[in-house]
Structure 1
Amino acid sequence: MGKLLYGATMSLDGFIAGPKDDVSWLTEFLGPDPVADELVANVGSCLIGARTFRGDDPNAGTDQEGPFGGAWQGPQFVLTHTPPDEPVPDVTFVGDLRTGIDLSKAAAGDGYVCIIGADVARQCLELGEVDEVLVFVAPILLGDGVRLFSHLGGTKIRLDPPRVHETPNATSLWYSVRR
């Protein structure tokens, strides 16, 4: 069964999306990155939050639309209570987190289940289901938006020391969640 990995690009001040869920800021930080290439090659499925699925893909309408700038194709599981009327290729809509986790892990085989979306990641972290966290820290300060991780009242989740890699566009920090 696949490992759950929460992966995201984050501004230095902790935001994965700007105000009004804007992710257009990401485009200037996309580029060659061996850590991202390694991840994409090992993703078996994606578990995606509804807000992220319906959100602002900076590559919408291009051949780079979709997860990982269009570099990955495969089964996607979207958590939502309001699925669209029309089917979406390679997308399964699920109404509860447990079902989404189970289906995405089974579909991933030995690959990663990449969690996409801050709220679904928070829920998976709170359940103790996340195995690894990969953060690409971009050299920008956004000042406001959607945080990488936010939990009212606070939650401590221990991580092992990261594997670190630097490129001109970002510094990647790849952690294992301490059990």
Structure 2
Amino acid sequence: MGKVFTHMTMSLDGYVADPEDGIGELFEWYETGEVSVPNPNETVSFQVDRASEQVLRELTENCGALVAGRRLFDIAEGWGDKHPAGAPVVVVTHRPPEDAATKWPTTTFVDGVEAAITRAREIAGDKDVTIASAAITQQALDLGLVDEVCVSLVPVLFGEGVPYFAKLARGHLLLDDPTVVQGRRALHLRYGVRGPDASS
């Protein structure tokens, strides 16, 4: 069985979007290199440096399902039912769109984070599940459902906006030392999540 991990691109001061949900310079690393990484969405292109290529391929090639919140899904207009990760999307929402079955046939709408992770695991099979939403990440960490936290850290300060992390209901959470990849316009970090009883 694959892992459940989170991934978002984050400003140095901890934000994944500005107060109006804009991404500003956050996604520059997707288009500042010499290596083209294909994806199934014809409206998105990835042109990254060689170090970031390794990271991006790891994030996409073994992704069996992606979990997102309704807010991100609406902003992205459902990615046209073709998420750039190349995997089916599970959306956490209490109210699925009325035309969901016809407009987004490969997208699943689930009420609740735990149910969404369970469904995503079923869809992914032996592949990984990626959480790509700050709010869902927060809840999944509180539920103990995350194996790794991944951050592409960008050299920009937003000052305010939508934070990747917030107060944890279960208190502080200890992570393993990071795997670090220095890319162009992003420092890619992966942290294993230690269990609640793990000691240093």
Scaled to the shorter chain, the TM-score interval is 0.7 to 0.9
Name which of 149, 153, 160 aligns with 1:137: 153
Query: For the residues of structure 2 that align with 1:82 and 1:26, how far apart are their CA atoms?
Result: 30
- For residues 147-166 of structure 1, the aligned pairs below 5 Å read 147-151=163-167, 155-166=171-182
Give how far 1:101 is off. 1.2
Structure number with bigger Rg: 2
Is 1:9 the counterpart of 2:15? The answer is no
2:94 is matched with: 81
TM-score of the aligned structures, taking structure 1 as reference length: 0.87
Higher relative contact order (CA 8 A, sep 6+): 1
For the structure 1 residues 174 and 152, does the alpha-carbon distance in structure 2 shift closer, same or farther, using more than 3 Å as the test? Answer: closer
Structure 1 SS opposite 2:189:
strand
1:51 is matched with: 71
- For residues 76-155 of structure 1, the aligned pairs below 5 Å read 76-87=89-100, 88-151=104-167, 155=171
Query: For the residues of structure 1 that align with 2:82 and 2:29, how far apart are their CA atoms?
Result: 17
Query: For the residues of structure 1 that align with 2:136 and 2:161, how far apart are their CA atoms?
Result: 16
Query: For the residues of structure 2 that align with 1:39 and 1:96, how far apart are their CA atoms?
Result: 24
| RMSD between aligned residues | 2.0
Deviation sequence 1:88-117 (CA, Å, 0-9, x none): 131010112222111101111121110011
Query: For the residues of structure 2 that align with 1:73 and 1:155, how far apart are their CA atoms?
Result: 34
Structure 2 SS opposite 1:54:
helix
- Identity, % of aligned positions: 38
Query: For the residues of structure 1 that align with 2:133 and 2:159, how far apart are their CA atoms?
Result: 19
Query: For the residues of structure 2 that align with 1:11 and 1:66, how far apart are their CA atoms?
Result: 26
Query: For the residues of structure 2 that align with 1:169 and 1:123, how far apart are their CA atoms?
Result: 29
Give how far 1:154 is off. 8.0
Query: For the residues of structure 2 that align with 1:11 and 1:154, how far apart are their CA atoms?
Result: 25
Deviation sequence 1:119-160 (CA, Å, 0-9, x none): 111000001110001100011111111111112778311100
**8 Å contact kept, 1:4–1:130:** yes
